[in-house]
Amino acid sequence: MLQIEKSPSFAAPDRATGSEFVSSSELLASFVGFIRRQYQIILLVPLLTLSLGAVYLFTAPPRYTALAKMIIDTHKVQLFQQQSVVGDITVDASAVESEVEIMKSENIALSVIKDLHLTEDPEFVGSGGGLIGSILGFIPSLFSSAEPQSQFELTRRALGVLQGGMTVKRVGLTYIIDISFQSLNPDRAAQVANGLADAYVVDQLEAKYQTTRRAATWLQERLKELRGQASVAERAVLDYKVKNNIVDTGGRLMNEQQLAELNSSIVQARAQTAEAKARLDRVQQILANDDLDVAAVDSGTVTDTLHNDVITKLRQTYLDYRAKESDWSRRFGVNHLAAVSLRNQMKEIRRSILDELRRIAETYKSDYEIAKAREDSVQKSLGEIVSESQTTNQAQIALRELDSTAQTYRALYDNFLQRYMESVQQQSFPITEARLITQASRPMRKSSPKSLLVLAIVLVGGGILGFGTGMLREMSDRVFRTTAQVETILHTDCLTVLPIVKPAATKEIPDGDNGGLSSVPRTIVRNGGVLWHVVDAPFTRFAEAIRNVKVAIDLAGVIKSNKVIGITSSLPNEGKTTTATALAQQMSHSGARVLLVDGDLRNPSLTRRLAPKATVGIVDVLAGTASLQDVLWTDPSTNLTFLPAVVKARLQHSSEMLASTMTRQLFDHLRGSYDYIIVDLSPLAPIVDVRSTLKLIDSYLFVIEWGRTKIDVVEHALSGAREIYDNLLGVILNKADINALSRYEGHRGKYYYNRYYARYGYTD
């Protein structure tokens, strides 16, 4: 099966390349070729878009944009030092973006619509102004009823216009927000921009007020509950104290205070008892000693003796007597009466001191017994209090729980009461983080449409669209346009490119009796149409292209016999019949014996054009009902002989007739009588008759209509007839537009044909 390569759509179709690498010069040439081929659409689309842009600028009403600036202030005024009832959100990037979305919300827009009465403004509920707006407003009115719109519909329509005209955006990474609005009226633009800012601030204040009010209401209800719960808890504490005989004195229970006092008293009583016992023991120890001198001396160690006047006087007298006795004994002797008298007096004094000490000892004994009795009494009271405290301590466990509950409820109540008072105060002075720093003023210049920008956009967009359209046309242009394209895709020679020929007015030339059977050859009908262009205008590009085909046939005849040339195409109306006639006329006009055969037995269009009055033809010769000489027609001006095909009824087996032995014998006979036999065959794609002529035809010429026949169609036709492709002499591109061809093949362009061909006398 024939393998046919595909060519790229945009890559230069006028040059076949076997290398994958494309040089810069080749790429530039491809681009230049693309521009030359598609320059009309590339220029037309920008001109069209420019025209549309001009119409838009002419019809679009001017619009004005007003701008207001608002800041989300992080340094909030703190009138109340206490924490706010409503928690404040930290102002960060996400918070600012959230505020931007709030400004775009319907609540803000509806508030502005209500405040500014925008439902009564034709700009917001009308067509929008301008020619385009009028058209867009008129079209829906054709499909809607004439009933007036409701207030809801007007509001929703104004909402759409308002949200479509406003722009709210954050300025960089700052806390500043731009609020702009575009309107047909500059004053209205400023009003709406400022209205949006004011509505946002009011909405924020209202939101905080409502939140604070709801919080205060909730706090008030909660306070009632907490006040009741605190009262119940405190009453439970009092009842429990009464029930368990618990008395609180200054924050301490009575039994605890008594216990502390008794502890202090028992310590003091024990100290007093010990002190009294010590004094008693000391005095008894002195009295138990018989040495009066010692007793007199030691008596000074007892505390009370120091403060006893009697003992003090007696001791002083004793000491005086002792000093005298010592002095007199030394002076007068120990046994002197004075010394002895003094010693006797000293004994009496010691005896008096001892008596006084015995009296003091009795006093000490009495004090000791009193202190001991007091200690026992305090100890007994302490035991009773301790016993009572053990019972009270058991009750204090439950008391502490009740008291803790009461204190908790009281603390909650006090805290909530404070928060409630704060919320009440904050309701009368709500604050917001947003404030307006730049008020929108009446714009002096229109913001849209921007003429230069619109024109630049339509030009650039039109250029891109035109270039894209050209690319799309280039990629969808799956037809043959250049010889190199034919050679690259079909791997065969493109013999020539036949320019399109405008048909001249046809004119029949009377030819005598052409209807009967006689030995005189019939004369071909001559007219001034396309079929005779090569004879009537021999110095044209069309005639020169036909000569190229004849030269190719003659050169191929050097290698093998090339007398019988079959001309076919993929589809009908590609110009194979005209090409066959022109080639036969060119050969015959040069002096060769040429026979033109109409081999299209299904649709003998050549016979209808050259011999419309013929009654017999090749079918009759093959059937044996007419001789060859009786069916041949001739052209006196070129000596061209024509074998028509007269089909009186549709042939069912035309392919078998062409492949029959009779047909082969007929062509063998014709080979000896003519130098060239040109056979106009049927198209290759619709029917199989051409494949039946392999034993008749030496070489085939394949005609392709330039710029019309699809590449896929030709590939399919030739891939299904491998034997035809093997005997293919070459391809002829027919009906080429030379001016358009110059944009595909520069070397075959108009400059080449018009300038260099003109030097040799060739014209169109």
DSSP line for 287-324: HH---HHHHHHHGGGSHHHHT-HHHHHHHHHHHHHHHH
Q: pTM of the predicted model, to two decimals?
A: 0.55
In degrees and rounded to multiples of 5, residue 700 shows phi and psi of -115, 145
Q: What is the pLDDT of residue 5?
A: 44
In degrees and rounded to multiples of 5, residue 221 shows phi and psi of -65, -40
Average pLDDT over residues 603-627: 90
Q: What is the pLDDT of residue 425?
A: 67
Query: Which tokens hold the place of 748?
Result: 């075959």
Average pLDDT over residues 80-104: 69
Q: Of 141-155, 631-645, 702-716, where does mean pLDDT reach its minimum?
A: 141-155
pLDDT for residue 17 is more than 50: no
Query: Which tokens hold the place of 64?
Result: 């004005």
Cα 500 to Cα 705: distance, rounded to the nearest angstrom: 10
Q: Contact, 9 vs 474, CB < 8 A? A: yes
Average pLDDT over residues 740-759: 59
Q: Which amino acid is at 231?
A: S
In degrees and rounded to multiples of 5, residue 91 shows phi and psi of -80, 105
Start-to-end C-alpha separation, the chain: 41
In terms of DSSP bridges, do strands 728-736 and 248-249 run parallel, antiparallel, or are they unpaired? unpaired
pLDDT for residue 528 is more than 80: no
Residue 505: its H or E element? none
Superfamily name and number for 483-505+528-737: P-loop containing nucleotide triphosphate hydrolases (3.40.50.300)
Spatial neighbors of 147 by CB under 8 A, at least 6 apart, are none
Listed ranges 18-32, 293-307, 334-348; the one with the highest mean pLDDT? 334-348
Helix (H, G, I), strand (E, B) or coil at 676: strand
Q: Which residues, listed in sequence order, are joined to residue 569 by a DSSP beta bridge?
A: 703
pLDDT for residue 55 is more than 70: yes
Q: What is the pLDDT of residue 241?
A: 72
Spatial neighbors of 250 by CB under 8 A, at least 6 apart, are none
In this prediction, residue 256 has a pLDDT band, given cuts at 50, 70 and 90, of low
Runs of H (alpha helix) within 504-540: 533-536
Query: Which tokens hold the place of 575?
Result: 């110009």
Please state the three-class secondary structure of 151-207 as a single string.
HHHHHHHHHHHHHHHEEEEECCCCCEEEEEEEECCHHHHHHHHHHHHHHHHHHHHHH
Nearest to 583 by CA among 597, 569, 599, 604: 597
Average pLDDT over residues 46-74: 87
Average pLDDT over residues 536-543: 85
Q: Which amino acid is at 116?
A: L
Cα 661 to Cα 646: distance, rounded to the nearest angstrom: 20
Q: Which residue has the higher pLDDT, 289 or 761?
A: 289
Q: Of 253-267, 306-320, 457-471, where does mean pLDDT reach its minimum?
A: 253-267
Cα 313 to Cα 292: distance, rounded to the nearest angstrom: 16
pLDDT for residue 508 is more than 60: no
Q: Model confidence over 469-478: pLDDT tens digits?
A: 888 887 877 8
Stated length of the chain: 764
Listed ranges 123-132, 203-212, 593-602; the one with the highest mean pLDDT? 593-602
DSSP structure class, residue 506: P
Listed ranges 48-57, 472-481, 699-708; the one with the highest mean pLDDT? 699-708
Mean pLDDT score across all residues of the chain: 79
Q: Which residues, listed in sequence order, are joined to residue 371 by a DSSP beta bridge?
A: none
Q: What is the pLDDT of residue 390?
A: 62
Q: Which residue has the higher pLDDT, 374 or 758?
A: 374
Q: What is the pLDDT of residue 641?
A: 94
Q: What is the pLDDT of residue 752?
A: 47
Q: What is the pLDDT of residue 77?
A: 47
Cα 500 to Cα 497: distance, rounded to the nearest angstrom: 9
Q: Provide, rounded to the nearest whole percent, the portion of the chain with pLDDT above 90.
A: 23
Please state the three-class secondary structure of 451-464 as a single string.
HHHHHHHHHHHHHH
Q: What is the pLDDT of residue 406?
A: 78
pLDDT for residue 555 is more than 80: yes
Cα 154 to Cα 148: distance, rounded to the nearest angstrom: 10
Q: Contact, 498 vs 734, CB < 8 A? A: yes
Q: What is the pLDDT of residue 301?
A: 47
Q: Which amino acid is at 466?
A: G
DSSP structure class, residue 613: T
Nearest to 490 by CA among 741, 712, 645: 712
pLDDT for residue 164 is more than 80: yes
pLDDT for residue 295 is more than 80: no
In this prediction, residue 140 has a pLDDT band, given cuts at 50, 70 and 90, of low
pLDDT for residue 438 is more than 50: yes
Cα 764 to Cα 761: distance, rounded to the nearest angstrom: 10
Q: Model confidence over 209-243: pLDDT tens digits?
A: 787 778 778 877 877 887 788 788 778 877 777 77
In this prediction, residue 91 has a pLDDT band, given cuts at 50, 70 and 90, of low
Q: Model confidence over 394-410: pLDDT tens digits?
A: 666 777 777 788 788 78
pLDDT for residue 569 is more than 70: yes
Q: Provide, rounded to the nearest whole percent, the portion of the chain with pLDDT above 70.
A: 79
Q: Which amino acid is at 448?
A: S
Q: Which amino acid is at 8?
A: P
Q: What is the pLDDT of residue 637?
A: 86
Spatial neighbors of 541 by CB under 8 A, at least 6 apart, are 499, 738, 753, 757, 762, 764
Cα 273 to Cα 372: distance, rounded to the nearest angstrom: 6
Average pLDDT over residues 336-355: 82
Average pLDDT over residues 123-137: 64
Cα 290 to Cα 293: distance, rounded to the nearest angstrom: 9
Residue 747: its H or E element? none
In this prediction, residue 513 has a pLDDT band, given cuts at 50, 70 and 90, of very low
Quote the longest CA-to-CA distance of the chain.
230
Query: Which tokens hold the place of 461?
Result: 């967009």
Q: What is the pLDDT of residue 11?
A: 36
Q: Which residue has the higher pLDDT, 680 or 744?
A: 680
Spatial neighbors of 358 by CB under 8 A, at least 6 apart, are 287
